[in-house]
Amino acid sequence: MNKKLAWGSAIVVLGGVYAGATWYAGERAQQRYQEALEEVRKVLGAEGVVSQQYQRGFWVSQAQTVLQWTPPAEPAEEGATPVPATPLRLRLDSTVRHGPLAGFKLAAAVVETRMALDGLDEQARKLLERTSAPTLTVVHHWTGSNDMLLEVPAGEVAEGDNLIRWKALRYDMALSADRTRLRGAMQWPELTLRVHDAPSDAQDDEEQEGQEAKVPSTLSMAFSGLRGDFDVRIEDGLWLLTPGTSQGRIDKLTLELEEQGAKSKALAALQDMDFKATIERKDAVFGWNVTMQSKGNIGPMALDRLSLREDVSRIDVEAVRLFQQALVGAYRTGTAADAKNALAPSEAPWLATLAQAAPRLLAALPAYAVEIKATAAGKEGSLSYGAQIKSAPDQALVEEKGWGAALLQHSVLDASVRLPKAWIPLIAEAAGKPVPAPDEVNALLGMAQAQGFLSQETDHIVSSVQVEAGKVRLNGKAIQMPQLGAAQ
């Protein structure tokens, strides 16, 4: 066999192998598409998938899936029949490039999906005219793992004085072959939100009746430089809480309030905000903690350092699973409408599932604690509070006293504050009040201490309160507790 014939034979063989691999990759891509649809149907129900098409090609296939959700009907005036809401449809248009070289990548397939809302009325279309459809690109590797890229282009939605504007959002993710580990990173350069609150017609009527009029106001929030990463493990089908870590940073966060006829008021201006969350599972319970550190201003008060730590422990795994099921059930049956109108759990089965979750949650004796620290004018102050269930209340007590009183008798609530005396003039100034003279401050603190509301240290004032088994202790001394949770 001469060289030309040998090379020609090799090319034919390689071409046949590549064609076979491409055919197999296309077959596998279509199979994965059908498997993904079955997973969607499990969550949304059969009626959630309105239509699906898959046009198989040799190199490239096209797929279209339409998902549907009907929001709850808008509340109607008394005596009127509620007008059914218009169903919302999410159209997913996918281009599937088959391997082994798919989209210039060594992969089984590369799927690019564009998302768009169908069935919008003219007002909704006009509202979204400055937005573009998000895209999801998924690389299916031969090993079974996936790389995913979610991109939301920059856009803006505005209606009157209400506005939300954002720069492009990007998520890069990797899902393991066994679907148990998800890692990724995100970047969101900027977001601006503005919400206008104006008096309603009913409030105008109240004004005419001599009641205090509500002043129109606008709340504005903006952040820049948000980025972060995460690494979580998906266990036993639990997606609401997944063990793992996430961390990130915001370069700048601002919050402002503007009332009609007044200057804009800065509520907060924070920078260099670092945050981290860790979720752990130990046998049958979850626990997690969240930390945040930043600096900047709260109102006119400058903070050299601001930190927060939140701890949650003993959250029953099975209760979380039941809560997941209730969320899916609520979605399928109309959520808000059923919650408002159902007379018995049989009319809204997800309510029965939720009722099963509550005893399990309480039996695990969950606990919650928060500590906030701040440093200003060279002094550190702190605020901490928390709650924990000491024992689960029985159903008879719940029926007799109601959930609020029953939980109070089986729980411990506590809060404490440690405030630098040097902050008192700063707080008064921030609140727009006259700054008290040192003698006035000492007199007021002395009276409060004599009445048991606080105790004084050299540079700080301290106060704590604890509620346990329905009894209240203020700074270690028992006080009478007001009657709460009377039986209905």
CA pseudo-torsion sign 392, 240, 155, 295: positive
204 three-state secondary structure: helix
Burial 65-85 (b: 16+ CB within 10 A, else e): bbbbeeeeeeeeeeeeeeeee
Cα–Cα distance, 228 to 171 (Å, whole number): 10
Mean pLDDT of the chain: 82
Amino acid identity, residue 466? Q
Residues 6+ positions from 49 with CB-CB distance below 8 Å:
37, 40, 41, 65, 66, 67, 68
Tokens of 114: 């564009």
Confidence at residue 338, expressed as pLDDT on a 0 to 100 scale? 40
Q: Can you give the pTM of this predicted structure?
A: 0.82
Alpha-carbon 327 to chain mean position? 14
Q: Is the peptide bond before 100 cis (omega within 30 degrees of 0)?
A: yes
Residues 6+ positions from 295 with CB-CB distance below 8 Å:
270, 271, 272, 303, 304, 305, 306
Residues 6+ positions from 478 with CB-CB distance below 8 Å:
471, 472
Provide the 10 A C-beta neighbour count for residue 97.
23
Mind giving me the DSSP string for 332-375?
A: HHTTHHHHHH-SSGGGSHHHHHHHHHHHHHHHT--EEEEEEEEE
pLDDT tens track, the chain, 488 positions: 454 444 433 333 334 433 445 555 566 767 787 888 888 787 777 777 888 888 888 788 898 988 887 766 666 566 666 666 677 788 889 888 887 776 667 878 888 999 888 877 788 888 888 999 899 998 988 888 989 999 999 999 998 889 999 999 999 999 999 989 999 999 999 999 999 887 765 555 544 455 566 778 899 999 999 999 999 998 888 888 899 999 999 999 999 998 877 778 888 999 999 999 999 999 999 999 999 999 999 988 899 999 999 999 999 999 999 998 888 877 766 544 444 444 444 557 778 888 888 889 999 999 999 999 999 989 999 999 999 999 888 777 777 777 777 777 889 999 999 999 999 888 887 777 888 888 888 898 899 899 889 899 989 999 999 998 878 999 988 887 655 444 33
Dihedral of CA atoms 350, 353, 355, 359 in degrees, nearest 10, equals -160
> For the segment 454-473, what is each residue's pLDDT rounded down to a tens digit?
899 989 999 999 998 878 99
Burial 134-158 (b: 16+ CB within 10 A, else e): eebebbbbeeeebbbebebeebeee
